A and B are shown apart, each in its own frame.
Chain A
Amino acid sequence: MQFRKAELESLASLHNINVDFSHHKEDSPFLVVQLENDQQAIDLVKRGILIKSIYELWGQGEDLPTLHKTVQNTMSTYFEENDDKDNLLTDTFKFELLTFLGGNKTPLKQQLELFDSFKYLPFKGRVRLKNPQQTYSILQNYEFNQETQAPENDPNYWYMGRLVCLSLRSRGVLEKLEISKRPFYGTTTFDTELSLVTCNLGLVDNKKLVWDPFVGTGSFLLAASEFDAMGFGNDIDFLTLKGKKGKRIRHNFAKVDKKQQFGDVMCMDFNNCALRNDFQIDCILCDPPYGIREGLKVCGVSDPEKMKGKETLMINGELAFLRRDYIQPKRTFSLDLLLDELLQFAVDRLPIGGRLCFWMPVANDEDIPTMVPQNKRLELIYNLQQDFNRWSRRCLVYVKRDEGFDGVSATKEDRGKNNFRDRYFKSFSKASKPASNK
């Protein structure tokens, strides 16, 4: 749930909206914020994935009479204070009831009576259930009764407001980008919802060039296309880039009408980078291989003896390693070292203020201190944990700062033994727990 607040803050930042989220509560589905106008509300919510909607608040209270009182109070000065809202008097409209935890508690007859109790409102327009110009929503919060293991019978809090904007989630983006609907995907394809949230955390927009250095089947780039960014990436596995049954990453873009947002992908080892250093990348998003199923790889051989003499080997008069059909060998590589490389890659190419977002596993086992990679030029602004039974992963968000910034630096040596792969295969037995650092 900390993801939700982080997403809101990022969206506010993206649109330069000054808003206070300090009273955000993890376990509450409702949040009241102070904004200047409808446009700010739209900007804040229109790209939201962990948010559903935003309303102009007209009233609130612990019971229905209080709700009505506060609404009437708002209405008594509303049209004087808002001279651009006269259209509400004649717009077509409908009412809706939304409940949190209440489910389908309220029968239709009762709902209609509830809507009817608002007839003091000065609306002269027609009621229209399909595509009305305005939607007025009554929102109810129900407490969960731990004893009966069910919501209480009556709501404990009410809100009423005019719907201003539905979020991207509410408008169906998760269904649109659902993995099973994509022409091309694989076993390591990253979750749609989280890839979209990551884009919001990364401030992806239509002016940005996004790079995924572990692009795989292109989830992050596809999510970025939703915000009209241009997506580029690389992967060490040529076969993944080649696709399956004639379908590749770029076909996923064409499927959702975003073909023009697909930049390019190439086969490249992150550890042997072929990008010029002064090539600016606005945002870096990725899910580096955890080394469990995928087995983290880089170019090279694990046994140097095997390499001996191969560089002079000739085939048909050509040096073997320069031939078109040569297959470059790979060896395993440490995730910790890789993350240091990733951070440095980001420092070299992001503009000041540009963000790096990536997912990283950390063993979740009885308060083991989790150590996160750091770089002096990157400020870690979010460390968001998602729990998965016996292991968890984090989304880390860094911002590039200028030379004046002196952040903490924690490289592989400093982070010591948090050897995820070994621990995972040993099933987190007590014996494999690293000594705690005091």
Chain B
Amino acid sequence: MKFLTTNFVRCAVKSCSTSDKSFPLKFEECELEQEEQDFNPDFIISMLERLDWNAIIKVAADLGNTQLPPQKPMNVETNEQVLKDLHSLLLETQIINGKMICENCHHIYYIKDSIANFLLPPHLAN
């Protein structure tokens, strides 16, 4: 699971969708790997608009990175260093194994072999 994807996912349990504690998920016991990807600045720029920056900071901190700026970087089109840092964080950081916990209902999801699993047990499913 790429770090970028952590910004898209929340708890799958329907009753959690109204709580703001169900996003982002809390990441624990994560095993990370850096995987090289071609640098595409246009993509990073278009992605930035989609990102919830507070969630980025939170999850980065879960994974041990507290160096991020508190505000979403603006006008990055010409700032290649910032773009490269974002590229490295969002696209090259892979979570191979780990736990994702909903801070509302405390359900635990697992990432196994780079694949995040959001399936629910019958009593929590829709």
Residues of A within 8 A of B (CB): 206-207, 209, 230, 232, 234, 236, 238, 241-242, 259-260, 263-269, 271-277, 279-280, 298-301, 307, 310-311, 321-322, 324, 326, 328-329
Contact = CB atoms under 8 A, between A and B. Distances in A.
Nearest to A311: B123
A301 B125 CA distance: 9
Nearest to A260: B38
A328 B116 contact: no
A260 B122 contact: no
Interface in B1-52: 1-2, 4-5, 8-14, 17, 23, 37-38, 40, 42-43, 46, 50, 52
Interface centre among A276, A279, A324, A328 (most CB of B within 10 A): A276
B19 to A, nearest CB: 12
B122 A274 contact: no
A248 to B, nearest CB: 9
Given A264-B4, A272-B125, A311-B123, A242 B115 contact: yes
Given A259-B37, A328-B120, A266 B125 contact: no
B103 to A, nearest CB: 14
Given A230-B43, A259-B37, A275-B8, A324 B119 contact: no
Contacts of B50: 209, 279-280
B10 A275 contact: yes
CB-based closest 4 A-B pairs: A328-B119, A274-B118, A274-B12, A321-B121
B12 A272 contact: yes
A260 B116 contact: no
A275 B107 CA distance: 16
A276 B10 contact: yes
Contacts of B84: none
Nearest to B111: A266
Interface in B104-126: 107-110, 112-113, 115-126
Contact of A326 (B8, B115, B121): B121
Given A279-B50, A280-B50, A269 B12 contact: yes
Interface of B: 1-2, 4-5, 8-14, 17, 23, 37-38, 40, 42-43, 46, 50, 52, 91, 107-110, 112-113, 115-126
10 contacts: A267-B119, A269-B12, A271-B125, A274-B11, A276-B52, A279-B50, A280-B50, A299-B126, A300-B122, A321-B124
B10 A274 contact: yes
A39 B123 CA distance: 58
B82 to A, nearest CB: 19
A351 to B, nearest CB: 11
Contacts of B123: 307, 310-311, 321
Contacts of A238: 115, 117, 119
A260 B123 CA distance: 39
Contacts of B17: 277
A419 to B, nearest CB: 22
B10 A268 contact: no
Nearest to B110: A324
Contact of B119 (A230, A236, A275, A311): A236
A265 B115 CA distance: 7
A174 B73 CA distance: 41
Contacts of B116: 266-268
A321 B107 CA distance: 9
A299 B120 CA distance: 6
Contacts of A277: 17
Interface centre among B13, B38, B120 (most CB of A within 10 A): B120
Contacts of A299: 119-122, 125-126
B58 to A, nearest CB: 13
B37 A260 contact: yes
Contacts of A269: 12, 118-120, 125
Contacts of A264: 1-2, 4-5
A149 B1 CA distance: 58
A209 B116 CA distance: 19
B2 A206 contact: no
Contact of A267 (B91, B118, B122): B118
A232 B9 CA distance: 12
Contacts of B5: 232, 263-264, 266
Given A264-B2, A307-B123, A276 B13 contact: no
Contacts of A266: 1, 5, 9, 115-118
B68 to A, nearest CB: 20
A250 to B, nearest CB: 9
Given A272-B125, A274-B118, 15 more contacts: A241-B115, A259-B37, A264-B5, A266-B1, A266-B9, A266-B116, A269-B120, A271-B126, A272-B120, A272-B126, A275-B10, A276-B52, A279-B50, A280-B50, A326-B121
